[in-house]
Structure formats: structure tokens, C-alpha cells
Amino acid sequence: MEVRIDKDTFLNGVQKVQGIVEAKGAMPILSHLLLTTEKDQIGIQATDLEIGAKGYYSANVVAEGQVTLNAKKLFDILRELPSEEVHLTKEDNHWVTLRCGKSKFRLPGMPSQDFPPFPEFSQESLLEFSSKLLKEMIRKTFFAQSPDETRQVLNGLLLERESGKVNMVGTDGHRLAVIHRDLGDAAKGGKLSYLIPKKALAELMKLVEDEEATFSFSAKNNHLAFMQGDQVIVSRKIDGKFPNYQQVIPTDNKLQVQVNRDVLQHALKRVALLADEKSKMVRFDVQSGNITLTTDTTELGEAREEIAISYSGEDVSIGLNAKYVLDVLNVIDDEEVVLNLKDQNSSCLITSNKDKDYQSIVMPMRL
């Protein structure tokens, strides 16, 4: 195998898949990338047996073939090379010579036949997203997934098609984020429901660069795939039943508190500096015209801040996890947010007037 490829193109391709690589797993081959040349392109492939990613890039192929190289070492070398052509040559015993400008490296590979086969996936598209929309849907729900690896169905996002809309939902049992978007004809058809693992979503975000590009989503047996141009990410789906999230969304939170997102965000960050390390609880006292944020802990001290708001309803107090509220404020794009409240024992529904199809719920804490 012998190939010449632009260094920046090569680096970009390696960068897109190297996050999947198992650096210290039981199988050394999983710390490697599989490089395959055919016609006028090079394929760059990575897998951890749960997720596989592959991309093709234009290259000057002198001789076709395959090699495997340690992903981290290759990435570190490419990052430091000048922006010139990289010349890659396979030698005996799976060794590879890499030249660029006045630099030369000899790297040990592993037998390419030991590299796991790429998982089978369907080319038949079930849903189509613009990059911009896919990125928004993941960004606005990703933070709500559970970090608890034992609760597998909560370790990812629910993607569903229902009534001409596509929905994405994340929850960890203490909070929930749901976004509904209209895909027009691309969302027509019966109900579909899939659980996508967290790692696959994180890797997918790296591919979502060109906002004009279109991603196709497909499913076959246990595997889900996102395809865009010469790139594909295939992942095992999560098995199990996602909680009935619609039951959790409150419909009778009549107290609507409108507040400037930026003002609330900064005030909450300041007050949360003295919140209890474990619970992160901040007390929200809402009265006509203002909201008071308070923390009071014996070890850390007390913080208090008042914010002017547009509200003339009855007084209400609620304890909320400051980090959970800040996570929501970080992804809402509108200037004003609405805290929909009922009482201190009912969850807080966070929305905005400009986007009724994005909702986030934070469970209350005992005051």
C-alpha cells in the first residue's frame, strides 16, 4: 500500500473518528485505526465494538491496500506536521513509513485482518435532518441523560417519530429535556422509537460541521446509523423501555414567571457558589415583581440575590438544583425564559415564548 494525501485532510479524517478508539481495552487492535485505500481515496475507520465510524477522503493512491496504525500516535504526529503532503508506505511485517516535508516516521502496525468487521447497517433512510437541526436537537437534550451506567435506558437519548414530528428526549429521573421539531415530509410515516447511546451522540456531534449538509438516519436489526456524504457512524441501539416522559410534563403549572435568561444565569451562578456541594440547591422565592435566590449552608455561608421579573401572581417558593437549571439556561437561545410553577412540591417547567416546542423539567427539592 502506498498513498499521498494532504496533511490537513488526513488530520481532519483521523480527528473525526479517534474519539471512538479504545485506548486501553483488552484488545490492542481496538486502539488502532484501519486505513484502506481504493481508487482515488483513503478510508479511515475506528470501532470499540459498540460504535463504528468510517469516512472517505480524496487521496493520490499509488498502490491499494490496508494498514492499521495506533490512533493516538498517528493523531499526535499529524497534528505537529507542516501543512504539506503526507506520503504513507506499507513495509514488511505491518510496519509503515510516514514522510512529510523533512520529517520521517516508522510506525508498527497490526495485521489488518485482525481489525473487527464494520457492523452491517441499512442505507435506507428513515429520517433526514439538516446538520443544523440535528445539532440543535442533541445539544438541547444531551445534558439531561443519566451518568449512571447501571441505568442503561437513561444512558442515551430517545429519538422518535410521531404525528409528523420528530422528538428527542433525555432524562436522568431528576430532570427531563424534550424537543419537538417538524421535519415536513421527512417525518411522515408511522411511529418510530429508538434509544441512541450517549457515546454515539457525542461522536455524531463531531461530524455535524457543515450546517447545510443532510444526515440520514437508518436502523437495521440492533444497529442504528447516521450517514452524511462519505461519513457514517453505526451504533448498537440501547435495548429497553424508555420512561413515559409525556406523563411527567406538567399541564397545570399556572404561575408563569418571565425572566431575562442572561440575568438569571449570572445571578444563579453567583448564588450557587455557596450552595451545598452535593445537592446544589438554591431557594427561589417568587413574589410580585421580583425573584430572590438564596443559599444558606453552615460550612460555606450564605448568598442572596434579587432579580426584577415580569410577574404579578401569587407568592411561591421552590428549591431547585442550580446546576440543572443552569444546564437548561445554557441551551435556550431566547432572551426571555419562562419558569412555569405550581407549588414547592411540584416540578418546575422551563420554556420560552419563542419556542413552545422545547421544554425542560427540573424536579423540586425539599426546602
Which among 104, 75, 198 is positioned nearest to 147, based on CA atoms? Answer: 198
pLDDT of residue 367: 87
- What is the per-residue pLDDT across 107-165, written as a single tens digit (0 to 9) for each? 999 999 999 999 999 999 999 999 999 999 999 999 999 988 888 899 999 999 988 89
pLDDT of residue 78: 98
Burial of 124: CB neighbours in 10 Å, binned 0-12, 13-18, 19+: exposed
Mean pLDDT for each 10-residue chunk of the chain (367 residues)? Answer: 97 94 88 96 96 96 96 97 97 95 96 95 92 95 92 93 91 97 78 94 87 90 95 95 94 95 98 95 96 94 94 95 98 96 97 96 95
* 2-6, strands of its sheet edge to edge: 60-63, 2-6, 85-90, 95-100, 103-108
Question: Residue 133 half-sphere exposure, CB side, CA atoms within 13 Å?
Answer: 20
Domain boundaries, the chain: 2-114, 127-247, 255-362
The CA-based angle 248-205-114, given to 5 degrees, is 115
Max alpha carbon distance in the chain (Å)?
79
pTM confidence score: 0.92
Please give the Cα distance from 361 to 59 (Å, whole number): 49
Classify domain 255-362 at the CATH topology level.
DNA Polymerase III; Chain A, domain 2 (3.10.150)
Superfamily of domain 127-247: DNA Polymerase III, subunit A, domain 2 (3.10.150.10)
Contacts 24+ apart (CB under 8 A), 107-113: 107/69, 107/70, 107/73, 107/74, 109/32, 109/67, 109/68, 109/69, 110/28, 110/29, 110/32, 110/68, 111/68, 112/34, 112/36, 112/66, 112/67, 112/68
Q: What count of other Cβ atoms lies within 10 Å of the Cβ of residue 139?
A: 15
Our measurement of the distance from residue 231's CA atom to the centroid of its chain's CA atoms, rounded to an integer in Å, reads 17
**Same fold across 127-247 and 255-362:** yes
Amino acid at 180: H
pLDDT of residue 54: 96
Report, at the CATH architecture level, how domain 2-114 is classified: Roll (3.10)
Q: Which residues contact 338 (CB under 8 A, 6 or more apart)?
A: 256, 257, 258, 259, 350, 351, 352, 353
Strand 192-197 to 175-182 pairing: unpaired
